Chain A
Amino acid sequence: MDDLLQEFIAEATENLAVIDQELVRLEQHPNDTEILGNIFRLVHTVKGTCGFLGLSRLEKVAHSGENVLGKFRDGELEVTPDAVTVILECIDRIREILGALEESGNEPAGDDSALITSLDQLIEPAAPAPAKAAEAPKAENKEAPTNNGMAVNEFGAPIAAEMLAELEAAGVDLDADESDEPEHANDAEPDRAEPDVSDEPSPSSLPESSSVDDAGFPPADGNASGEDKGSGQKAIEPAAQKRESAVAASSLRINVDVLENLMTLVSELVLARNQLLQMVRGYDDHEFAVPLQLLSHITTDLQEGVMQTRMQPIGNAWSKLPRIVRDLSVASGKKIDLVMDGAETELDRQILDLIKDPLTHMVRNSADHGLEDPGQRLAAGKPETGKIRLNAFHEGGHIIIEISDDGRGLNTDRIRAKIVEKEILSEAAAAALSDQQVQQYIFHPGFSTAEKITNVSGRGVGMDVVRTNIEQINGSIDLRSVKGEGTTVTIKIPLTLAIISALLVKSASERFAIPQFSVIELVRTAPNSEHQIEYINKNAVLHLRNQLLPLIRLDNLLGIAETGDETRSEDAFVVVTKTGNSTFGIVVDQVFDTEEIVVKPTSPVLRGIRQFSGNTILGDGSVIMILDPNGIAAEVGEIQAKLNSKADGSRGTNVDDKKVPLLLFKGDSNEPMAVPLVLVARLEDIANKDVEHSGGFDLVQYRGTLMPLVTMSGNGLPQDRESHPVLVFSDRGRQFGLVVNEVVDIVEDKIDIEMPSSRDGTLGSAVINGHATNVLDSEYYIHKALGDAHVNGSKALNANITGRPKTLLVDDSSFFRSLISPLLSVEGWDVTSVSSVKDALALRDAGEQYELIISDLDMPELDGFDFASSVRNDERWKGTPLIALSAQNGSQNIERAHTVGFTDYVAKNDREGLLHSIRSIMSNQAA
């Protein structure tokens, strides 16, 4: 049976027991509002839960009972024994239904209209008074159950015997109805105490029930049939009660504090065990080996067991959602389909409780703000029914929960306006934000974009509260939204808060723990090794696989640096850490082991230090602090924003706005220069004394090879300095260094060459960062340094700068886009680059025309083959030459590319090949 249902039954059984007692007390003290309030609350709870579980029959009965109790409570109805009797009957009916529910897992079918009517009659004095109902047992079908109530009434106060009698009487209806369901009848049979009894009533009840239903009202000779089956019912009743208590007994409700305490103790046990293991480590054969191993196993099992008590399927937090969405859909007239995947994913109860409200809030948001009205959806070419999808799954030590909708997406213009209106940013600053950045502002405190406050959401509980709640449990939240396509919120939360795996590191002779789940990789840095710490404007960075990673030195961050020298030892470890959107490196002196640690909250007097999320005791008994990657990320924030903006830029916008990260430097004569950052492999500082001369070149020994150095002027190295900043370029496995005067900064801007250059080595001038800047022609220096032929080849088509032919570049990798765009730009093309096929096709729909399209083959979602088919099957771009770029050179791939309509196929890293292909295609076109 469903866990949730089981829990509900256990809880409801408990509640009903209390209600019984309270009702009896109520009769003795009819005016005790406290008792009434308590009963009302309990019935209300049962009713509310039924609603969530979709138990409509139970809900109806409880609802009517609640109505009457409400009148009692408000003093509108007098508490009379008659009335209490009817309420008790109602409670018993609930109990019966629960019994059947427990047995079969389904709500039994049945008709409660009679009971409900008698309850309603208590409220509606206009209806025949209950006392008169006794005279009319045969009159109307609706009156019949009142008869039950009255019959009981004759016994006086509701005592146990009377309740039993009621049950029997009520059981008549129920039993007859239940047997409509053959499956249920079968289920019930083995449970009956005496086989001979079970044999008898079952068949007899079937025809009876059908006759009841056919007639449309309960049997006129109710007493006779009641007696008939009373015997059967009696047999069932004790069994049902036994089962009720069985569920109540097999699931025990324990105060969470008790569990917490157990958890702490087990954690200590684990630590003590670890200490013991450490003590005997190194002794191969000792008398403790076997008992210690046993202890170890038992401890591990115990730990898992205790953890298990805290784990619950995430579906428990979702159980309310279908109801909420249904209500919303009715209230708003939208059609909503709620899909829930991965409900069985388990996580710590404590976390479950904490995410319940944020999840509900976000689903409400999606339904209320995210999804459009059916009319709007149809107009936008979407299916009428909107979809909200919840998906939970494990990833690493985390649970990822995605809440996505296919609605209208975030309105970035409105958020921008709101940012300005709320005076969070100036208008100019808001306008400068990328869409992705703008979207993040919905997490800003006090930010709600709902134009009208509906009764559903927009009650001042904003996404900032959601984010705070998530971050409290070490989680992170990320949002992606595409206008017109929908919004996806991704929540990442740890499985448990209690025990985590942590990496132990050392910085300036102090040890710290970094939660393992935020560590991506470890990089060892040393001078002359592949990975070195470099500096841009005094900010440490690491060039790691074509990405510049901002670094933060832990000792500086924590103020424990032994010397003030920022560029001290380069022999260090970089812990590459990811949290939310940001990735950065923490520089530490030493890395030890990973260890399972028990996170203990820091004492209140230390809670203000945001670099730490807690503290712990290690196996050796020492106390260390646990670093909080989120807090550190905030510290790194500024550097991060600068370096990461390129990623944001390419993600948030549909059409790449051609902004690329540029390295600004000063050339020989101190003129401002720029080069796309992706072209630069490394930044070096090379000492004069290391430079050697050979074959007319300045050379330097660099990572085991000789690297030629070139200056921009072509003259020798300036001798007036001890060392030179060098940009290292790498081309097809060979490297060369370009000596510059000074490395200035990294900025993000467009390369819009306005003035072509007549000077070798520069592509021309562009306005970058507000200054006229020469853009470096790296190709020129590659040829110069590495001695290739056609030096001026790259400028062949550069003559006509206005009215350039247009080309479209489709590649999901921003690296290749920024690599190839300048190359094509230099060839004389006006390049539009987009990151997906979808975006490319959107341009087609927008009526754009290109003379050439270059597309990557391997892309997520729609790949290059899909793109080509789509291009060739539509009149608009049918005739446009199409070049495929691919990292794979299999003949199969090439063949397939030609089949789907690519004009040519070029390996991705073959820049010369690409240019050659373009030229030959264009000359064929011209011919």
Chain B
Amino acid sequence: MQATSTAVVQHLAEDADVQQILTTTVGDQVFGIQVLSIQDILQPRNVAHVPKAPADIAGLINLRGRIVTVIDLRHWLGFDPAEVQQQMHIVVEHDNELYSFLVDSVGDVIAVDRAAVEGVPPNLPEQWRTISKNVLREEKDLVLIVDVSVLIAALANN
């Protein structure tokens, strides 16, 4: 375990992007999204439903003339559907396409203390392990750092 986490820390150190993360909550879990990958944080809004789309895709929204694919993180992570459709959108860009993650609430921007980063424990469900490779110990919370590109690739392959 110690070895793994050292490797991860080194990996993170090379990756200058992961210096600050925005904490968000989905269900009862805190997730961190790299600040530099975030394009926009949007208020709750109407999402256009896409028939026949995978259930993890909530639909589409229009962000200043660009179409954003909205990803329902609750569904992906296996939580019950949100009781109120008042989730915030965290918009990220990947491969020239915009994606938005639906999150229940948005927290703070925190600096990543590399010493506090470890690999995700192997006993997490596969969907969880896809979304995140690293866990940050932040005070009393464990923050899962979201790996945007892996998640989107997984969705595209579904």
Binding site for B on A (CB under 8 A): 268, 271-272, 510, 558-560, 600, 603-607, 609, 611-612, 615-617, 621-625
Contacts and interface: CB of A to CB of B under 8 A. Distances in A.
Contacts of A605: 54, 57, 69, 71, 99, 152, 155-156, 158
A604 B48 contact: no
Contacts of B67: 600, 603, 615-617, 623
Contacts of A510: 49, 51
B62 interface: yes
16 contacts: A510-B51, A558-B51, A559-B52, A560-B51, A600-B67, A603-B67, A605-B155, A606-B69, A609-B50, A611-B51, A612-B52, A615-B60, A615-B67, A617-B65, A622-B48, A623-B60
Contacts of A558: 51-52
Contacts of A271: 65
A558 B50 CA distance: 9
Contacts, number: 61
A606 B48 contact: no
Given A617-B62, A622-B62, A623-B62, 14 more contacts: A560-B49, A560-B51, A604-B95, A604-B97, A604-B156, A605-B99, A605-B152, A606-B53, A606-B57, A609-B50, A617-B67, A621-B62, A623-B48, A624-B48
A558 B52 CA distance: 6
Contact of B61 (A272, A600, A616, A623): A623
Interface string B139-158: 00000000000001001101
Contacts of B48: 622-625
Considering residues A560, A600, A604, A609, which has the most beta carbons from chain B within 10 angstroms of its beta carbon? A604
Nearest to A604: B156
Interface residues of B, number: 23
A268 B64 CA distance: 9
Given A615-B60, A617-B62, A617-B67, A625 B97 contact: no
Contacts of A612: 50, 52
B46 to A, nearest CB: 8
Given A615-B60, A623-B62, A603 B69 contact: yes
Contacts of A615: 50, 60, 67
Contacts of B51: 510, 558-560, 611, 625
Contacts of B71: 605
A445 to B, nearest CB: 23
B65 A625 contact: no
B55 to A, nearest CB: 12
Interface string B67-96: 101010000000000000000000000010
A510 B50 CA distance: 9
Given A560-B51, A624-B48, A603 B97 contact: yes
Contacts of B155: 605
A731 to B, nearest CB: 45
Contacts of A609: 50, 52-53
A603 B99 contact: yes
A617 B52 CA distance: 19
A280 B71 CA distance: 35
Contacts of A611: 51-52
A615 to B, nearest CB: 6
A558 B53 CA distance: 10
B54 to A, nearest CB: 7
Interface string B31-71: 00000000000000000111111100101111001010101
A499 to B, nearest CB: 14
A606 B50 contact: yes
Contacts of A606: 50, 53, 57, 69
Given A603-B97, A605-B152, A605-B156, A625 B62 contact: no
A271 B99 CA distance: 22
A509 to B, nearest CB: 10
Contacts of B59: 623
B98 to A, nearest CB: 8
Contacts of A604: 95, 97, 152, 156
